[in-house]
Amino acid sequence: MPQATLLEKALGKVKEHGFKYTKKRETLLDFLIKKNRYVSAREVYNHLNEQFPGLSYDTVYRNLREFCEIGLIEDTELQGEMKFRFSCSESFEHHHHFICTVCGMTKEIHMCPMDFFKEQLDDCSIEGHRFELYGRCEKCQNVNE
């Protein structure tokens, strides 16, 4: 899907969930769409602060968290730091990832292992889960850290 269409769809979801449109929110989403990988909140903040001097880090982080809650943005802890990316699912549906530990490239995994676990936990109520695989993508397999 073209980046402009993704941005329009994302802004529609923002409005649908009761958030007002701001140029800062649009710029935040556009940055994540263009990056197409996990980035730190600091990277997002640095980019936004260039265009909106004086913007607080807390505001950026709060927006990232709120957009995670409505499924626009995905988060993960990578190498001890929270990272964020625009949802790689065009329909913002549940999915899992392989994440390159060198470049941050992400591949969507098109299956969910929860059926296996549900069978073993049939007397429990599962409220959420996360499944991510970490390693090196094809380009980074020979890169020395």
Annotated binding site for Zn(2+): 100, 103, 137, 140
Show binding-site residues: 94, 100, 103, 129, 137, 140
Query: Residue 45 in contact with residue 26, Cβ under 8 Å?
Result: no
Give long-range contacts, CB 8 A cutoff, 24+ apart: 94-98.
96/130, 96/131, 96/132, 96/133, 97/132, 97/133, 98/132, 98/133, 98/134, 98/135
Tokens of 113: 């292992």
Contact 60, 45 (CB under 8 A): yes
- Residues of the binding site for Fe cation: 94, 129
Q: Scanning the structure block, which residue is given the tokens 């073993």?
A: 120
Question: Vertex 1, ends 51 and 39: CA angle to 5°?
Answer: 45
